[in-house]
């Protein structure tokens, strides 16, 4: 064990080592290697953290290695931790392979104690700065390592400001701060029973372990779950020489992006605070200044920063997010990483960089997260609407949302679970609020800027966010806020527009999104590279039209059941189900025919020239009937109320019939082609409606491409019989209309037995469409209606299942059956058309699987069509790691 | 087409041709070949029938072939159909590959018309006989070919007897019969508008087609469905020279078995009627005499019959059922076939024949239908009980049954569908009653003997039957019968004992069956040849003991849920489910523990030394709760009635909790190991109860072999987690008891995903048990609770599915998954123990499949254990056709 290397100096690493050194560590090493002004330091590897997570103790030899690197660092800088004349101070920062902003712990100014304080004053001649650093260190170390609540220190800081009659921290004098240091040390003594630790080596060792532990804190876990980051990666720990942005007005600290993370525009975008440490910017405690001010305040440092950022972007070939500190005029780069961005920015940056020759089209395609596109496809506020704008702030994350006001993260989570849409309103957000941001539709903060925690997290999630909305007067105690004379209480409806940074009273009217030119360009490239077709699931002409606009190449699943729910229709459907004889049933279906025909005409017109796969009626019939329990209750009540006998008898008859349709497990009951076999009138009517509609629109000059799909086949004979009946009806219609329409008849593969016997079923099918929703239900034995609430949430929480199989296709189980079915089907019909129309058709990892299986197309909801086009291209380009990321 | 041969003379065939010539035809050919006295004739093949069934017309060339063979027959006998001096008469009989007694049509005396009647009188000098034959022919031909109702003729016959003041048909004179012939011809004229056909060739041709058509009559279809005979086989048609058992008192006709078909005893067993045609015996119209009387009446013919039967049995090496006719002292053999027999007889005959050196043990084993064994394993009437015996008759089919009296087949069927047990009481049964016999628990007939239709069919089905119960006075109109002063109405409960031929008023007390020595011997042989182990599914010490007595080698499935339904327990279980906290839940499970432990102690004792596989709680929890709909109704009623508020609130709370447990598809919901994961307290309690019970009985000197089974695993992680928790609890118990008990932990493979990922799951399983009930549900997507009534019956009727997959394992779908799982599991653990515990474990074709898959054991209900032992032996011996059958 002792032969394993756990610690790397910045000179030893490079950008390719992010799984060992973390993102921050590997980039610090890379910048060091390239000669950027990086304060010296070393990194403890993620492997040490993983060892600690599993065993609760550091690996053997780690402390020795740290000691060795610490010595090297000290000799390089000719300074020593804790030295009473010229002390070295270091920061101890987490840094995982994937960025988890603010989720884990960081300790600054480590190495301070009552001795080194003197040394630092001797060196800096700046007592105020030194005591400011000392009080910050005591608070951070106590909070993170000693687990003393931060609030206890904050309270004393506020109290000190109050007593001295000042508003800003910067107005406190050296004497005030020195006094505060003593008060802080007393708090530690009182809370832990021990003195604040003096020995810098001990401080360092404990700080490293505390950072390891922060890998498993609840907010980090929540974040990883949301972003599907593996718990096994661990975090690295970076020990770096401190530089100080709080050494006076020639010092500053800030963060900056090489391009605008909201819009993608090619211009430096950043914020900083003079005389401050980095945490002040990120936490949004003071509202920061923009970089243009820095140009005026510290022009040399500014120029060097701009040059460095340009070089970094060229080197990494991607937009960079940097942290910098200026110590008495000298610039230090403390971090660089690929910057998070909105979907719109991602598209624009990718397109621009291809234009600039920085990256290729393939790289551009691979770089965009398909799931993020969703943001662009969501509605925005109608620009022509008259709005009751309450306040404005900073446009921290674009998009629009409406919801009930909530004032804390826990409530946001509860309400969301109860099915409500909420807008989270906070002074500022901290990493502890992460679950609230996940639960909310959008976020408003009173404080904080464009790079504050709330802004970064909301942009990552594609949720609208308005920051720095200072007009809002929060009254947490009474659960309300006041703004310009209006009072808004918890539960009131508001809307926010993250793009224009407006907070609006009530529900704002939304309009459908459209696709901008960069988006079009990316999708055009995607179409060039992808091999999978992309269709849509649509049941109405409107949805079909929208999907076509988004690039759908046909309808992969047109459900016919939704068409049965119109008011006039539903009672006909009920009569059809409850018919007492075949003749009666036939009579009622006859009346439904014109409705269905009209539906299909609209869809065929919207999709003219493109294939339309229509699934015959699928769900259990009782979905269309009154609820059995309700009927029983009504009947019992009627009897007690002494309603007249005829009414009771009528209700009893209805109850009797409805009871006959009730099933124990409707998902496994009389539905799909079983309906078609038991009640042939229904499918016959549907097939007639489809073919008559096709004939009618063809006469009008449209080009209908009919594909009829028989659902829920488990045995080849079901399809054989239904195909025969279907074709009989088709022939009747075509003969009556004296027309010819090409058509296909296929089936869904959505039951394990169908997959297993796909070679037999393929004999009678012109195409297969994998219904992976149902296939997932039967393969796992999970009822989707029940699983989520009853046990699936627990399964995901306990990691019994790695992902929700209803979201991402379970490749080793459900995927095995899909694979088996594809192979068997091709044995019978080598060129058989194979598609997928479960919701997995719009999920990137599932789309990649479909590409590998060589399916003909995926079909997904209209708003997922662009995503699917991109994901299909990414699958075709190949899953190779983009090492520049 | 014309080159295909459709007609074979008896000299051309042999016993191996039963699929072409039918059973009857091939055996007539065989007997002819061996020199037995068989009236000459020829057979039209089943292929001609199949052609006719499909196309509605005879194959080209058939009539020519028939004509040719008819000519040959006539020249061989020097007689001619329809000849006015020496006419040939023939019978036209159906004869399918598998015996379907009485289900299809037969026409005797064909060739008679007004001319040939004269010739026959000239030849026989027996006018009475000739007109008797003529009137029979007209009636049969009119009924079968011309579709004139038989009742119309019967009525005239009765009328004639009434007018002439006689009781028996035989008392009518030649003149009476001649008059009857004219009346019959008038009926035909009146009903069909045409004269009764005169031309014998036309008669023959039409009769053959009518027999073809009878293959598809409803009663034949019902019979084939019951006995799983394929509809594709078709029937052959046998044209055979008539011989007459009704030529006077030196003529007779009868049927006989070479051994007793009820007991298997080695003694000739038969019945006959003097001066009668065969149909009179079979239809049970007159109660026949036993063969011992024939010895006295016609000793020469008797001796020849006995000798022939002995030779036939030796030749076929199986018990034979023969039809014979004695015409004026000369014996003719009209049919031989393997005799149907009760299960008891089958065992005795098989054992005796092995003893006699006629057959080998393997042949004996293969010859017994495992399904038939069921008969022997059903309860019989307690011999010590005091019974209210109403009447006695003939012991036509052994066994005992209780049910409500019904008087016709349709009602029997209806009542059975409504879930009632019925006893069918009839004058006599005809093939039209077949559906009633299927539906009834047992059958009583007033008329008819041991070889009557009711007796044969009931024996075949293993249902008790009492025939010839002449004391019973039926009053069909008033739906009652009177017997010895007691009146029994439709719906009254009676019992019958087919072994002792008693009819008993009320419900007779039954006792459990035991296994007789022949049965033991056969099962001993079975154990010698089989390779599959046989276990049982048992949840109580009583069932376990019974199964052990029947030879079970362990428990393959001990369900723990049934143990939760005791009155005292159920309320604890409800409290457990509705507990509001984990502590509360733990407290209640603690109270359930002693009950469960007691259950397991009893089972371990009963099974000492043999493995006991205990499945942890499997069904959805709401099965233990009050019904949600009922609660809603109760609450609505309470509110209307103005019950006090506290009671309503309590009810509302209960309703609220029960609603939380209601699932859309409980079969796919929170059950199986999902329960164990979500509510760990329940499984923990069960594991404790199991291990404490094992320790306790071990202390008492028993030898418990514990196997704990985790149900409904879909992903390896479920088993991994549950195994870990299970072993934790086991270790706690063993440590506390300071004992060591060997145990195994395994899982059920009952979901497609488990089968597909069996290699992963096998890592954590000491054994697999295939739960093919659930696996069938998810593989097909069929809910067993719903499928049967809603669509499965229709599927079977329409032949969409060849068999009910819940009865016989679907080898191409479910079997494919079992096969996949076996292969994958063995890759991980070559010697892994694999069993099956679905109901398929007691079904012969499924057992054969399990044998081929190399499973370790099958597990079935206690009463199926002997069947499984035999079926396993048959599978091991091999599925080769037993050509002697």
Q: Is B725 on the interface with A (CB under 8 A)?
A: no
Centre a 10 Å sphere on the Cβ of residue A731 and count the other Cβ atoms it contains.
11
β-partners of residue B557 are: B537
Distance CA B504, CA B473 (A): 15
Whether the per-residue pLDDT at B885 is higher than 60: the answer is no
Distance CA B844, CA B840 (A): 8
Distance CA B675, CA A307 (A): 61
HSE of A774, CA atoms in CB hemisphere, 13 A: 30
Nearest Cα residue in chain B from A661: B790
- The SS3 call for residue A536 is strand
Q: Return the residue matching tokens 């800088």.
A: A77
Q: Which residue has the higher pLDDT, B662 or B704?
A: B704
Nearest to A633 among B632, B667, B817 (CB): B632
Whether the per-residue pLDDT at B880 is higher than 60: the answer is no
Nearest to B666 among A664, A812, A813 (CB): A664
> Which residues, 6+ apart, have CB-to-CB distance to A549 below 8 Å?
A514, A515
Q: Return the residue matching tokens 């002819």.
A: B32
What's the mean pLDDT in A384-403? 88
Q: Where are the alpha helices (DSSP H) in A662-714?
A: 673-678, 680-699
Query: Quick one: DSSP state of residue B788?
Result: I
| pLDDT single digits (tens) B805-821 | 998 999 999 999 999 99
pTM given for the model: 0.81
Locate B60 and state its tokens: 């080209």
Q: Which residue has the higher pLDDT, A443 or A282?
A: A443
Interface of A with B in 816-875 (CB under 8 A): 816-817
What percent of chain B stands above pLDDT 90?
69
Distance CA B709, CA B691 (A): 13
The lowest-confidence range among A123-127, B609-613, B739-743 is A123-127
Give the pLDDT of residue A880: 45
Q: Is A795 on the interface with B (CB under 8 A)?
A: yes
Centre a 10 Å sphere on the Cβ of residue A811 and count the other Cβ atoms it contains.
17
In angstroms, what separates the C-alpha of B692 from chain A's closest C-alpha? 29
What's the mean pLDDT in A2-7? 81
First to last CA, chain A: 32
Q: Return the residue matching tokens 């044995």.
A: A827
Distance CA A401, CA A595 (A): 36
Q: Is B724 on the interface with A (CB under 8 A)?
A: no
Query: Quick one: DSSP state of residue A295?
Result: H
Give the pLDDT of residue B285: 63
In angstroms, what separates the C-alpha of A812 from chain B's closest C-alpha? 7
* pLDDT band for position B1 (cuts 50, 70, 90): very low
Q: Decide if A641 and B640 are in contact by the 8 Å CB cutoff.
A: yes
Distance CA A491, CA A610 (A): 47
Please tell me which residue in A69, A435, A447, A453 is annotated as part of the active site. A453
Distance CA B723, CA A752 (A): 27
B804 and B796 in contact (C-beta within 8 Å)? yes
Q: At what angle do helices B127-144 and B200-214 cross, to 10 degrees?
A: 50
| pLDDT single digits (tens) A670-718 | 999 999 999 999 999 999 999 999 999 999 999 999 999 999 999 999 9
* pLDDT band for position A282 (cuts 50, 70, 90): low
Strands (E), B726-855: 743-749, 767-770, 833-836
Query: Quick one: DSSP state of residue B671?
Result: -
What percent of chain B stands above pLDDT 70?
98
Whether the per-residue pLDDT at A460 is higher than 70: the answer is no
Give the pLDDT of residue A885: 36
What's the mean pLDDT in A367-386? 82
Q: Residue A54 phi/psi, 5° resolution?
A: -75, -40
Handedness of CA B509, B514, B518, B522 (dihedral sign): positive
Helix and strand counts by DSSP (H, E) for chain B: 34, 33
| pLDDT single digits (tens) B482-541 | 998 899 999 999 999 988 889 999 999 887 777 889 999 999 999 999 999 999 999 899
> Which residues, 6+ apart, have CB-to-CB distance to A640 below 8 Å?
B637, B640, B641
List of chain A residues whose C-beta atoms are within 8 Å of the C-beta of residue B751: 779-781
Q: Is B795 on the interface with A (CB under 8 A)?
A: yes
| pLDDT single digits (tens) B27-85 | 999 999 999 999 999 999 999 999 999 999 999 999 999 999 999 999 999 999 999 99
- Average pLDDT of chain A to the nearest whole number: 91
List of chain B residues whose C-beta atoms are within 8 Å of the C-beta of residue A721: 798, 800
The lowest-confidence range among A715-719, A817-821, B373-377 is B373-377
B30 and B13 in contact (C-beta within 8 Å)? yes
Whether the per-residue pLDDT at B615 is higher than 80: the answer is yes
List of chain B residues whose C-beta atoms are within 8 Å of the C-beta of residue A670: 786, 790-791
Q: Identify the H or E element spanning B204.
A: helix B200-214
Interface of A with B in 583-642 (CB under 8 A): 628-629, 632-633, 636-637, 640-641
Q: Residue A113 phi/psi, 5° resolution?
A: -155, -175
| pLDDT single digits (tens) A297-347 | 999 999 999 999 999 999 999 999 999 999 999 999 999 999 988 888 999
In angstroms, what separates the C-alpha of B841 from chain A's closest C-alpha? 21
Q: Residue B605 phi/psi, 5° resolution?
A: -65, -45
Residue A632's closest CA among A591, A607, A609, A662? A662
Q: Decide if A779 and B717 are in contact by the 8 Å CB cutoff.
A: no
HSE of A594, CA atoms in CB hemisphere, 13 A: 5
Q: What share of chain A is helix, strand, coil (3-state, %, to 5)?
A: 50, 15, 30
Give the pLDDT of residue A200: 93
Q: Which residue has the higher pLDDT, B542 or A818?
A: A818
Q: Is B799 on the interface with A (CB under 8 A)?
A: yes
Q: Return the residue matching tokens 């899982």.
A: B747
Nearest Cα residue in chain A from B679: A791
Locate A234 and state its tokens: 């661990």
Query: Quick one: DSSP state of residue B863?
Result: G
Q: Identify the H or E element spanning A750.
A: none
List of chain A residues whose C-beta atoms are within 8 Å of the C-beta of residue B721: 798, 800
Give the pLDDT of residue A883: 37
Cα–Cα distances in angstroms (integers) from residue B334 to residues B27, B71, B349, in the given order: 10, 21, 24
A45 and A4 in contact (C-beta within 8 Å)? no
Give the pLDDT of residue B380: 80
Q: Which residue has the higher pLDDT, A500 or A350?
A: A350
B517 and B421 in contact (C-beta within 8 Å)? no
Pairing outcome for strands A289-290 and A533-537:
unpaired
List of chain B residues whose C-beta atoms are within 8 Å of the C-beta of residue A786: 663-666, 668-670
β-partners of residue B42 are: B9, B239
Residue A869's closest CA among A552, A604, A621, A411? A552
Q: Which residue has the higher pLDDT, B309 or A581?
A: B309
Q: Is A670 on the interface with B (CB under 8 A)?
A: yes
Whether the per-residue pLDDT at A453 is higher than 70: the answer is yes
What burial class does residue B73 get, using C-beta atoms within 10 Å of its C-beta: 0-12 exposed, 13-18 middle, 19+ buried? buried
Cα–Cα distances in angstroms (integers) from residue B246 to residues B144, B327, B422, in the given order: 22, 8, 39
Q: Residue B260 phi/psi, 5° resolution?
A: -70, 115
Cα–Cα distances in angstroms (integers) from residue B117 to residues B121, B135, B201, B276, in the given order: 6, 11, 16, 19
Whether the per-residue pLDDT at B398 is higher than 70: the answer is yes
Q: Is B756 on the interface with A (CB under 8 A)?
A: yes
Give the pLDDT of residue B460: 67
Distance CA A840, CA A858 (A): 9
In angstroms, what separates the C-alpha of A278 from chain B's closest C-alpha? 44
Q: Is B777 on the interface with A (CB under 8 A)?
A: yes
Distance CA A732, CA B884 (A): 54
> Which residues, 6+ apart, have CB-to-CB distance to B447 below 8 Å?
B284, B285, B287, B427, B428, B467, B468, B470
Q: Is A777 on the interface with B (CB under 8 A)?
A: yes
| pLDDT single digits (tens) B637-671 | 999 988 889 999 989 888 888 888 889 999 999 99
- Average pLDDT of chain B to the nearest whole number: 91
In angstroms, what separates the C-alpha of A716 from chain B's closest C-alpha? 9
Give the pLDDT of residue B447: 82
Q: Decide if B774 and A756 are in contact by the 8 Å CB cutoff.
A: no
Q: Is A37 on the interface with B (CB under 8 A)?
A: no
The lowest-confidence range among A388-392, A451-455, A706-710, B241-245 is A451-455
Give the pLDDT of residue B379: 72
Reply yes or no on whether A49 is catalytic: no
Residue A690's closest CA among A593, A577, A767? A593
Give the pLDDT of residue A882: 44
List of chain A residues whose C-beta atoms are within 8 Å of the C-beta of residue B756: 779, 812-813, 816-817
What's the mean pLDDT in B725-753? 97
Give the pLDDT of residue A398: 80
Torsion on CA atoms A830, A836, A842, A846, rounded to nearest 10? -60
Give the pLDDT of residue B881: 38
Whether the per-residue pLDDT at A523 is higher than 90: the answer is yes
Residues of B taking part in catalysis = 453, 837
In angstroms, what separates the C-alpha of A781 from chain B's closest C-alpha? 5
Q: Residue A557 phi/psi, 5° resolution?
A: -155, 110
Q: Return the residue matching tokens 């224009």.
A: A500
Q: Decide if B663 and A785 are in contact by the 8 Å CB cutoff.
A: yes
The lowest-confidence range among A638-642, A811-815, B316-320 is A638-642
Of the ranges A223-227, A273-277, A538-542, B207-211, which is most confident?
A: B207-211
Q: Decide if A781 and B778 are in contact by the 8 Å CB cutoff.
A: yes
Whether the per-residue pLDDT at A884 is higher than 50: the answer is no
| pLDDT single digits (tens) A232-246 | 999 999 999 999 898
- The SS3 call for residue B767 is strand
Distance CA B23, CA B26 (A): 5
- The SS3 call for residue B699 is helix
Chain A interface test: which of B668, B679, B792 (most A C-beta within 10 Å) = B668
3-state secondary structure string across A102-144: CCCCEEEEECCCHHHHHHHHHHHCCHHHHHHHHHHHHHHHHHH
* pLDDT band for position A285 (cuts 50, 70, 90): low
Whether the per-residue pLDDT at B284 is higher than 80: the answer is no
Reply yes or no on whether A715 is catalytic: no
B170 and B127 in contact (C-beta within 8 Å)? no
A422 and A410 in contact (C-beta within 8 Å)? no
Give the pLDDT of residue A3: 66
Locate A437 and state its tokens: 């941001």
Q: Decide if B779 and A753 are in contact by the 8 Å CB cutoff.
A: yes
């Amino acid at each position: 064990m002792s032969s394993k290397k756990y610690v790397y100096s910045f000179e030893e690493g490079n950008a390719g080592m992010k799984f060992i050194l973390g993102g921050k560590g590997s980039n610090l090493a890379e910048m060091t290697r390239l000669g950027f002004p990086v304060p010296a330091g070393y990194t403890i590897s993620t492997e040490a953290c993983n060892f600690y997570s599993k065993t609760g103790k550091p690996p053997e030899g780690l402390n020795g290695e740290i000691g060795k690197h610490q010595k090297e660092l000290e000799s390089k800088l000719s300074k020593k931790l804790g030295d009473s004349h010229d002390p070295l101070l270091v920061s101890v920062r987490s840094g995982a392979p994937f960025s988890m902003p603010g989720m884990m712990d960081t300790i600054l100014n480590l190495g301070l104690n009552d001795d080194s304080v003197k040394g630092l004053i001797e060196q800096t001649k700046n007592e105020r700065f030194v005591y400011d650093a000392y009080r910050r260190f005591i608070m951070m170390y106590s909070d993170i390592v000693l687990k003393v609540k931060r609030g206890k220190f904050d309270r004393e800081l506020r109290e000190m400001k109050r007593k001295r009659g000042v508003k800003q921290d910067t107005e406190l004098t050296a004497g005030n701060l020195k006094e505060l240091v003593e008060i802080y040390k007393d708090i530690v003594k009182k809370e832990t029973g021990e003195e604040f630790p003096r020995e810098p080596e001990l401080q360092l060792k404990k700080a490293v372990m505390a950072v390891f532990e922060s890998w498993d804190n609840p907010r980090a876990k929540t974040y990883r779950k949301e972003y599907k980051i593996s718990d096994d990666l661990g975090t690295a720990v970076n020990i770096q020489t401190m530089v100080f942005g709080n050494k006076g007005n020639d010092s500053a600290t800030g963060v900056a992006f090489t391009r605008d993370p909201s819009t993608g525009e090619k211009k430096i975008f950043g914020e900083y605070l003079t005389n401050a440490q980095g945490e002040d910017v990120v936490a949004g405690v003071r509202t920061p200044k923009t970089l243009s001010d820095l140009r005026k305040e510290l022009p040399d440092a500014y120029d060097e920063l701009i040059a460095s950022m340009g070089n970094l972007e060229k080197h990494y070939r991607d937009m960079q997010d940097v942290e910098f500190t200026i110590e008495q005029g000298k610039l230090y780069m403390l971090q660089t990483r690929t910057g998070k961005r909105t979907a719109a920015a991602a598209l624009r940056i990718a397109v621009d960089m291809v234009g600039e020759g920085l990256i290729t089209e393939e790289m551009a395609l691979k770089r965009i997260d398909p799931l993020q596109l969703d943001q662009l496809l969501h509605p925005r506020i109608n620009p022509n609407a008259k709005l009751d704008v309450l306040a404005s702030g900073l446009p921290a994350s674009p998009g629009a949302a409406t919801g009930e006001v909530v004032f804390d993260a826990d409530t946001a989570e509860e309400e969301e679970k109860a099915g409500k849409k909420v807008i989270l309103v906070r002074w500022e957000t901290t990493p502890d609020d992460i679950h609230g941001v996940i639960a909310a539709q959008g976020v408003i903060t009173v404080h904080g800027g464009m790079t504050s925690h709330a802004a970064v997290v909301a942009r990552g999630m594609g949720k609208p966010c308005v920051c720095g909305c200072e007009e809002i007067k929060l009254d947490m105690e009474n659960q309300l806020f006041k703004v310009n004379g209006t009072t808004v209480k918890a539960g009131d409806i508001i809307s926010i527009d993250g793009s224009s940074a407006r907070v609006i009273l009530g529900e704002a009217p939304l309009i459908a999104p459209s696709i901008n030119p960069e988006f079009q360009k990316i999708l055009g490239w995607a179409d060039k590279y992808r091999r999978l077709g992309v269709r849509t699931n649509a049941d109405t002409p409107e949805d079909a039209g929208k999907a076509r606009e988004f690039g759908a190449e046909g309808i992969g699943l047109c459900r016919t059941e939704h068409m049965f729910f119109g008011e006039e229709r539903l009672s006909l459907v009920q009569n059809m189900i409850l018919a007492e004889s075949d003749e009666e049933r036939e009579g009622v279906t006859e009346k439904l025919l014109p409705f269905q025909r009209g539906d299909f005409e609209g869809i065929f017109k919207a999709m003219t020239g493109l294939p339309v796969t229509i699934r015959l009626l699928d769900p259990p019939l009782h979905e269309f009937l009154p609820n059995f329990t309700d009927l029983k209750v009504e009947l019992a009540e009627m009897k007690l109320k002494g309603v007249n006998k005829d009414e009771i008898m009528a209700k009893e008859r209805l109850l009797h019939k409805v009871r006959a349709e009730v099933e124990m497990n409707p998902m496994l009951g009389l539905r799909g082609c079983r309906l078609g076999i038991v009640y042939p009138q229904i499918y016959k009517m549907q097939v007639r409606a489809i073919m008559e509609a096709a004939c009618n629109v063809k006469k009008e000059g449209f080009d209908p491409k009919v594909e009829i799909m028989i659902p829920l086949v488990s045995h080849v004979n079901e399809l054989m019989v239904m195909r025969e009946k279907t074709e009989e009806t088709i022939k009747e219609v075509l003969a009556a209309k004296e027309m010819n329409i090409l058509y296909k008849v296929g089936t869904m593969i959505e039951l394990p037995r169908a997959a297993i016997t796909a070679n037999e079923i393929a004999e009678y099918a012109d195409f297969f469409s994998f219904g992976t929703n149902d296939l997932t239900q039967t393969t796992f034995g999970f009822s989707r209606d029940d699983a989520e609430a009853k046990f699936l949430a627990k399964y995901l929480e306990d990691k019994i299942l790695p992902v929700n199989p209803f979201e991402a296709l379970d490749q080793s189980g459900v995927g095995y059956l899909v694979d088996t079915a594809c192979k068997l089907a091709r044995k019978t019909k080598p060129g058989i058309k194979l598609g997928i129309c479960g919701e997995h058709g719009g999920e990137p990892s599932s789309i990649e699987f479909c590409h590998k299986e060589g399916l003909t197309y995926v079909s997904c909801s209209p708003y997922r069509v662009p995503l699917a086009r991109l994901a299909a291209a990414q699958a075709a380009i190949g899953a190779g790691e983009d090492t520049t990321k």
